Chain A
Amino acid sequence: AQTVTQSQPEMSVQEAETVTLSCTYDTSESDYYLFWYKQPPSRQMILVIRQEAYKQQNATENRFSVNFQKAAKSFSLKISDSQLGDAAMYFCAYHTGTASKLTFGTGTRLQVTL
């Protein structure tokens, strides 16, 4: 079975600082995709960043970047210059090339302090 593990239930970061959220996954598939979604109190899941497993280069979206270590099955999210609006639940998710569904981790709650 495919699983996604987020070992940090909560993280805190000061405004303007950098924080890294961890995610590991388990799969026997060779073709898959990894995602980080943000869920604010409004509950709507918002796509933050996406990584294709066959790409060596780590994905980057403005202040958000990932460290994708395929052999270690690790996919961490780095948020630079943290802002108050970054406070939310962050979910790591996994999708195979053949399946329809996303498999999510249990989430990390990020607090941003002044």
Chain B
Amino acid sequence: GAGVSQSPRYKVAKRGQDVALRCDPISGHVSLFWYQQALGQGPEFLTYFQNEAQLDKSGLPSDRFFAERPEGSVSTLKIQRTQQEDSAVYLCASSSSRDRAKNIQYFGAGTRLSVL
């Protein structure tokens, strides 16, 4: 695709609901990143995949957060039993092998999650 695509753009969830956020990286990009951006803050790293392998999940705030990329392309970030503090914009980024060497990541427009 032309860019990183994320869906949905907006998600409203009631506290306690489970949500799934989708990221379609740029075609052929082997690296995929998830970031969480709270209101008025910079993005914070959640997790990183290289192909289907999750190489770093040190930023996931709790065991309610789970990410997968089973075929090395599309990724899903799942949040179980959502809480109000989960309200944020969730950004996905991807990088090719060549761009990874330059440490360049391309971002999607994010999913804004509001937990009521």
Partners in one complex: yes
Cβ-based interface call for A16 (8 A): no
- Residue of A4, A91, A100 near B48 (CB, 8 A) is A100
Chain B interface bracket (under 10, 10 to 19, 20 to 34, 35 or more): 20 to 34
A101 touches B42 (CB 8 A): no
With A33-B103, A100-B55 in contact, is A43–B45 under 8 Å at CB? no
Residues on A with C-beta less than 8 A from B89 are: 43
State A93–B45 Cα separation when bound (angstroms). Answer: 12
| A interface size (C-beta, 8 A) | 23
Query: A3 to nearest B CB, angstroms?
Result: 11
B56, B104, B110: the one contacting A44 at CB < 8 Å is B110
Q: How far is the CA of A95 from the CA of B45 in the complex (A)?
A: 11
Q: Which residues of B have CB within 8 Å of A25?
A: none
Hey, which bits of chain A sit against chain B, CB under 8 A? 4, 33, 35, 37, 42-47, 50, 91, 93, 95, 97, 100-107
What are 29 pairs between A and B in contact, CB < 8 Å?
Answer: A4-B42, A33-B103, A35-B103, A37-B107, A43-B91, A43-B109, A44-B3, A44-B107, A44-B108, A44-B110, A45-B43, A47-B104, A50-B103, A95-B103, A97-B103, A100-B33, A100-B55, A101-B33, A101-B45, A101-B48, A102-B43, A102-B45, A104-B42, A104-B44, A105-B42, A106-B41, A106-B42, A107-B40, A107-B41
